[in-house]
Amino acid sequence: LKSLIENKCVYITEAKKSIEQYVNNHNIETINHCFSFLNQDYLDSREKKSYCKIVQIKDNKLYKSEAFTKILENENFKTKILDSLNYGILLYESEFASVNYGMPHFKINYKYNMKDVALLCNYNKIHSSFRGAGVLKFRNDYFLFVNLEKDQDIKESINYKNKFTSERYFQWQSKNNTSQNSDEGFRLTKNKEAGYNLHLFVRKYKEVDKKIELFTYLGKANTISYEGNKPITMQFELENPISSNMFEEFR
């Protein structure tokens, strides 16, 4: 966006060079996804009404929209926008340095919401569909979102028995309609054999002081044992054990 403000358009190859000043070895697929995201390809109809469309894509190049061009004619607005972009870049450098965390682009012990996850795995459908579900899948990755403390009035059918049993092991229950002989059951219970990654996101409370809490990303987990059906109770081994302090916090 900084390059686009000062130029007529930005090529994907130019964007890759710009981003590699800050992130090591970023790939073209992610740049394409960024272009599409800025083009509002992944916004739902309500979101499109709420946000001004600032770019458009043509022949794999990013152009300023007429609305954005008009906004930038006001030097005060242009200065504020550039300040915001520069602040965002500095904040990113402070929190992530230049590390390439791979794909999906998650940092262990960092906090995310569900829509962040859609963006960071290059999800190529409407991103708001990544809300409200405990289990989400894209390509060969499962994203498991866990609330450890349940509401008192929650239905018993969805009162899943998810818990840490140690710093390395976590008990997780599938959706209550998942059986071991289903495709999803196989991918979850034998994830390594099936070639699927299980990404674990945990928060203790859904809300604190009426504010929605973010999920902490704990890295990949692998199923080492399982039992039962609808739901299946699985024992995960974390590839990155949590600290003893975090274990006490999440108990």
pLDDT score, position 152? 55
Q: pLDDT below 70 — which residues of the chain?
A: 151-159
212 contacts 204 by C-beta, under 8 angstroms: no
Quote the pTM value.
0.92
Helix (H) or strand (E) holding 176: none
pLDDT score, position 130? 86
Give pLDDT tens digits for 149-199: 876 555 555 568 999 999 999 999 999 999 999 999 999 999 999 999 999
Longest Cα–Cα distance in the chain: 64
Residue 169, C-beta contacts closer than 8 angstroms, at least 6 positions apart: 235, 236, 237, 238
pLDDT score, position 154? 57
User: If you compute the radius of gyration of the chain from its CA atoms, what whole number of angstroms results?
Assistant: 21
Q: How many other β-carbons are positioned within 10 Å of the β-carbon of residue 68? A: 18
pLDDT score, position 27? 85
5 contacts 80 by C-beta, under 8 angstroms: no
pLDDT score, position 26? 77
Strands of the chain (E only): list them: 9-11, 55-58, 61-64, 111-112, 135-138, 141-147, 163-164, 169-173, 197-203, 207-208, 211-212, 215-227, 233-238
124 contacts 140 by C-beta, under 8 angstroms: no
67 contacts 52 by C-beta, under 8 angstroms: yes
In order of 11, 12, 15, 16, 223, the CA distances from 28 in angstroms are: 11, 8, 9, 7, 33
Amino acid at 196: Y
CA distance 134 to 140: 17
128 contacts 114 by C-beta, under 8 angstroms: no
